[in-house]
Every structure is written in structure tokens, then in C-alpha cells.
Amino acid sequence: MEDNDSIEDVYEDSVTVQSDPFGSFESFRGYHEEKRQLCRTVVEPAGYDRYVTTSVLLLGEHADCQTTTLAKGVTSKLGSEYTFFEIDSVYNDLMGEEDNIEATLNAARSREPGFVLLTCLDEHGFGEEEYESLRTQIESIQQSHDRVTVVCTAQNQDLDLTTHDSLFEVTIEVPKPGEKFRRGTLNTELERAETAGVIKSTQLDVEALSELDIADLTLQELRTVIKRTVQRRRRASDAEKPTITPSHIQDSIKIVEAERLEESVGSPLFAEDDTDQFEPEIPSVTFDDIGGLRGEKQRLREAVTKPVEYSDTFRQAGYSVGQGILLHGPPGNGKTMLAKAVANDLAYQFLSVKGPELEQPLVGVSEDQLRELFQTAREHAPSVIFFDEFDSLAPSRKTDTPVWKDDLVNTLLSELDGLEPLADVIVMAATNRLNELDDAVLRSGRFDTFIEIPSPSLEEQVEIFAVHIADLPAAEDVTTEWFGSLRLSDLSGADIMAVCRKALEFAVRDFDAGSTQRLVVTRANIQAAVERLRSELQESQWSQGYQ
């Protein structure tokens, strides 16, 4: 670039250049140790003329880690003669492949002393080539003793960063923000609302901050808390600039927590499984998390847990510990969660896949995926493979099935019989259509244990309800006895979970609208949720029949 002064114009969408500091340490609380390290390793050497610190990495493993905030705070400690640059993208949208980093560092060297902040190391486009370019630039700065400090931030220590860690003279690991920073975030957001002219001046003292229950909230959720507080107060107050008290903020905290609980209320029971089929993990679900099904839990322990516990005895007798377990019965009653509980009970890695996910009509693709799944299970043994909607994966070949499905069944049989044994790998499956499975799959030696998971009895419905309502802010009269008196015999376990979730939605709606004084799930909310669920089920059944 011939004219370095034009960098602001050429890269205006991805590079910020200014003479004023980006921020200050005084603008946020906490991080005392990290501030001290930055003062010692960056600010103090800035006065050493040609011997400044050239390259710094602030590394945080979590999105809440305040790497960029700390880096910007450094700028207020540097001299007024500094020019400050921030690069938030590797490439300029308008300039295509032209490298922002090289151009910006050249501009910083021409205007030294300069401070360059790179917040783009986590970008997908920042790879081997970009690291080598950065290394070349930094080594050139060091050799010429230019007064330029490059501070980089990253959330994840990826392979490329690990390979190039020698690039940085100083590396500081930044933890998740402590309580001082998190509570200070509330005051910062209140100041912004005050500056915007939407509330009266409101600052919480240390005592008021300490009384707010924010331990489980992320920084984004804390910002949402203040936003919801401002919205609620402006709706409820006639004043142009309403006041905000700690109790108003605590009410909003309850709303945000409830909304988060609403999103995760299906966990750990009957939740949709979003685990990548080739990324095994030990589930958090235990048998105690599953309401009812006492006999079925005992059968699973006898069929799986005990053989593993006495594996030497079983192997000496010539029996495999990794036998197949088939769970069958109507949908929504806990088959998937029982499989997860087995893996948790044994501390085995869990790999789950739905049968339709392996339905790939392209020749050989489904078979390759299935082989890869079994190979992953062997590599991560001891492990549990769980096939949901098993009838889709192993339909009877006596029916008019596509040829590629027959090939998929043959591959499954080959893996179950295996030239390469399934040592310490337990295969489990679930189906709602037992009579549609291929006979060969059900042969002894492949699946030896069949356990029916029926619809819950009234007693089991009450137990399932108790599991879900325990995590909700329920009214005192919302008891398991009351729920049992409703005689909702047609509800499955999944239906009961959905009722509790919808009841929470109704409770949040009422509280947020100001029609209730407390965020609490009432009997009326539960009954309204039951009616809504049945209405939706009827609409779904009508729609399917219409189609």
C-alpha cells in the first residue's frame, strides 16, 4: 500500500484505527492477576524505547473469558503518542484475499509507537498460511526494533495455534470472569440504560450486588437481565425514566433462569439426543433420573451391569459380555434414556444414532457410515452403541424393501457377528415396531435380551411428574398427589415432560406480563398445558390423516 494513511479507508470494515485508547482497566472489576501480568509484561516494557514486548497471546477457553476486554484495557496505560489498531477479520470483504494483517502491521510500524489488537485468531480462515505470515511480520518488527506491540486473543487453542505457540513472547491464560467482574457487568449495563435516557440513575452498591443470585448466569444472560428489567419497568411505570431496584433485577433473573430452564427442561429425562453419532461421551443420565420402570431397570441391570461386573466369570464360561439388548414398546416412554442410564451406570462411552440417519440411497454410503460407527465404538471401548428407530435400520427383507436397505441389513449382521469381535462393546436398540424387524437380526447371539417398555401406569406417571416438577418453581399445591388425581391415563412419559415445559411457558408469560406477583407454576398452568398438548396432538393427527 503506497499511502499508509489510507488504511482506514481501504479496510474500514475490518480494521479500526484511532489515537484514543480502546478501553481501560478501571472500566471493569476483577481480573486483578491478569491486569498485573499485562502491566508487567506489556505496559512497563513500553517505556524501554526499542525493547518493547512485541507479541502477546491472551488465551481463554470459554466464550465468557474477557480476553479482548483485557487487551483493550492495556491501551489506557500506554502513552498518548501511541496509535491503536484493531483487526477483527483476516481478510477484507472488499479487497478479497488481500491480507489485513500485513497491511495493518506495516501501517503500525510507519506510525510507531503502535499497538495492534488481533481478535481474529479463532476465525475459520486463520490457518497455517496466516500464522506464517504473522510470524514473518513479527520477526521483522523484532529485528528492526520497531516500537510495535501485537496482542492476539483466542478462545480455543487449536492445532495451528499449538504448533505456532513460539510466535508469542508472552502467553497469559484468561479464566472465566469472577464474581466481581460479573456483578460489575450489571452496573455497566445500568449505566448504558441511564446514558440512553430510559431509566433514572441507578447504581448498585456492593451489598446490593452480593444479594443478587447470579451464580449460574452467563455474561450474555446478565445483560439480558438488565434489558428485561428496563423493559418491564417501562411497561409498568408511568414515569418517563422509571427507577430500578435490586428486587426488580432479581425478578428478571428469575425470568431469565426460567426461560433457560424452559429450553433444557427435557434434560435429563426424555430429551432429544443431539449427541454427534461419532463423538462418544459418557451420559449424565442415571437410573434414578427416570421415573417408574422399576422392573425394566432391574432387567437391564441383570442383563448388562452384572455381566460386566462379573465379566471374567462370563468369559470363562464362553459367553460374550457385549450382548445385544432390544428395548421395544410405544414411543415416548424412556427407551433412549434407559440406554443412556446403562452407559452412565457402567461409565461407558455412549454412541447414539437414529436409524433414518443412516438411510443414504447412494451406493455404499450407509454401509460405510455403519462400519465407521462400530469402529469408533471399538476404538473408544468400553462403550455402548444405541440404535434408535431400529426398524428403519433393520427392516424385514421379506418385504418389498429397496436393495440398498438389504445391503445395510447385511452390513449390520456382519458387524454384529464380526470377524473383529465386539470386546467391551454393548449393542442396544429401540423400536416401536418389533414385528417389522428382520428375523436374522433377532437371532440369538445378536440380540439376546428383549425388554418391553410399556406406557406408564398411574403410579409411574406420578413418579415421572415428580422428576420434572422438582426443577420448576411450582406452587405449594402442585403436588404429585394432585397430579395423580387428574387421572391422565393417556399421557406418555414424553407427554408429561411436555406438559411441565408448557406449564413453565405459561407461568413465565403471566409473570412477565405482570399478572402474577411471583414466577410460579400453578395448577391452572398445568391444566392449561394438558389442554394445549391434547389440542396439538389432535391437530397433528388430523394433519397426518389429511395428508
Distances (CA, A) of 276 to 156, 348, 351, 373: 20, 16, 8, 11
Name, in order, each residue with C-beta under 8 angstroms of 113's C-beta and a sequence gap of 6 or more: 46, 52, 78, 79, 81, 82, 83, 147, 148
The SS3 call for residue 387 is: strand
Question: DSSP H helical segments within 380-513, as ranges?
Answer: 390-393, 403-417, 458-469, 480-485, 493-512
* Distance from the first to the final alpha carbon of the chain: 63
Q: Rounded to whole angstroms, how far apart are CA atoms 399 and 392?
A: 13
Q: Rounded to whole angstroms, how far apart are CA atoms 459 and 273?
A: 26
539 is catalytic: yes
Tell me which amino acid residue 148 is: V
Name, in order, each residue with C-beta under 8 angstroms of 156's C-beta and a sequence gap of 6 or more: 61, 122
Name, in order, each residue with C-beta under 8 angstroms of 288's C-beta and a sequence gap of 6 or more: none
Q: Among 153, 144, 154, which residue's Cα sits nearest to residue 114?
A: 144
Q: Rounded to whole angstroms, how far apart are CA atoms 426 and 144?
A: 63
Q: Rounded to whole angstroms, how far apart are CA atoms 99 and 90?
A: 6
Distances (CA, A) of 535 to 262, 263, 332, 538, 541: 20, 21, 18, 5, 10
Name, in order, each residue with C-beta under 8 angstroms of 172's C-beta and a sequence gap of 6 or more: 34, 37, 38, 41, 56, 57, 58, 59
Name, in order, each residue with C-beta under 8 angstroms of 476's C-beta and a sequence gap of 6 or more: none
Show the cell assigned to 253.
433473573
Q: Rounded to whole angstroms, how far apart are CA atoms 261 and 473?
A: 10
Strands 425-431 and 324-328: parallel
Show the cell assigned to 447.
440380540
Q: Other CB atoms closer than 10 Å to residue 451's CB: what's the count?
A: 20
Q: How far from the centroid of its chain's Cα atoms is residue 228's Cα?
A: 23
Q: Is the Cα torsion angle 168, 172, 174, 179 positive or negative in sign?
A: negative
424 phi and psi angles, rounded to 5 deg: 60, 30
CA angle centred on 422, ends 418 and 427, rounded to 5° = 105
The catalytic position among 98, 179, 279, 539 is 539
Q: Rounded to whole angstroms, how far apart are CA atoms 75 and 536?
A: 57
Tell me which amino acid residue 189 is: E
- Return the active site residues: 539
